Amino acid sequence: MSCKIGFIGLGVMGKSMAGHLLDAGHRLHVYNRTREKARELLDNGAVWEDTPAQIARHCGIVFTIVGFPQDVEQVYFGPDGLLDNMQEGAVLVDMTTSRPELAGRIAGEAEKRGGSALDAPVSGGDTGAQEARLSIMVGGDREAFDRVLPFFEIMGNNIVLQGPAGSGQHCKMCNQIAIASNMLGVCEAIAYARKAGLDPQTVLKSIEAGAARSWSLSNMAPRMLDGDFAPGFYVKHFIKDMSIASDSAGNISLDAPGLDLALKMYKKLAELGHDTDGTQGLYRLYEQRD
């Protein structure tokens, strides 16, 4: 059965995610700061709205995936935001990687207005979004989760309710911490192979099937070797994520030296003008050392 749903944020990830919902037959209302990014969806039947407020007034379920926590605040709060204009009983679903405490604040405000909010950040990159096989980490109450689950299943294939509001964001921090140190290892392995006079492509055939295997090794190392640093996920957004993770780790008195080193190196990469590379762009720093 089709349902009128809203989608805000049509970037590298959001455009594909929204497209899957539209292809599934749902009546999709969209908003993005740059209207041109919505052109393909509009041509395929999506309805444009001029503000988040209009999305909230027309849709009982609204998905958002924007860039930074401050963007989340702009979309959700204020007279033109989602919260002040949401329908009674609506569910607001923020799929941005953002601060756990902000997710809790949004959920509390939604509840005051007779609705619900879920935090549901994703992992899988541009390819996962395009192929509808994202991992979706969800925080919020079970009833709202069950209501939105059929829509999550259109966008991903590993959907887990982690706990109350903010839990999805905490889980995503675990994900980003694991990726951060792993990406260092992938870059160093490729750099070592080259320095040792090996063919890195041949090395990959051996190590990606053994104990060293990882998503980053199989998906990002080939891009590094091809000199393909196009973004599936921007360096600037990964720096944002790692910064949130570092702050959150401090809040729970956790020392995270691997995360701290990766954050330092990615900031250096950004300072060199590569903040719009994909995360595999970290390999540029190792190339400079060759």
User: 273 in helix, strand or coil?
Assistant: coil
- Residue 125: the pLDDT is 83
Domain CATH code at residue 231: 1.10.1040.10
Among the candidates 106, 137, 164, a domain finishes at: 164
Structure tokens at 16: 């594909």
Domain extent at residue 207: 170-287
To the nearest 10°, the Cα dihedral for 272, 277, 280, 285? -10
- Residue 288: the pLDDT is 79
* CA atoms 44, 45, 49, 55: torsion sign: negative
Same domain, yes or no: 130 and 12: yes
Beta bridge partners of 138: 161
pLDDT tens digits, one per residue of 132-177? 999 999 999 999 999 999 999 999 999 999 999 999 999 999 999 9
* Alpha carbon distances (Å) from 50 to 35, 55, 110, 193: 9, 8, 22, 52
Same domain, yes or no: 147 and 181: no
List active site positions: 172
Instruction: Going residue by residue through the chain, which has 290 residues, state the pLDDT in tens, using 9 for 90 and above.
Output: 457 899 999 998 999 999 999 999 999 999 999 999 999 999 999 999 999 999 999 999 999 999 899 999 999 999 999 999 999 999 999 999 999 999 999 999 999 999 999 999 999 888 899 999 999 999 999 999 999 999 999 999 999 999 999 999 999 999 999 999 999 999 999 999 999 999 999 999 999 999 999 999 999 999 999 999 999 889 999 999 999 999 999 999 999 999 999 999 999 999 999 999 999 999 999 987 65
Same domain, yes or no: 70 and 210: no
What pTM does this model have?
0.91
Same domain, yes or no: 68 and 201: no
To the nearest 10°, the Cα dihedral for 286, 287, 289, 290? 130
- Residue 290: the pLDDT is 57
- Residue 2: the pLDDT is 55
Among the candidates 164, 191, 211, a domain finishes at: 164
Same domain, yes or no: 137 and 78: yes
Same domain, yes or no: 128 and 262: no
Same domain, yes or no: 146 and 177: no
| Chain CA centroid to CA 180, Å | 15
Among the candidates 143, 164, 185, a domain finishes at: 164
* Overall domain count for the chain: 2
Same domain, yes or no: 55 and 130: yes
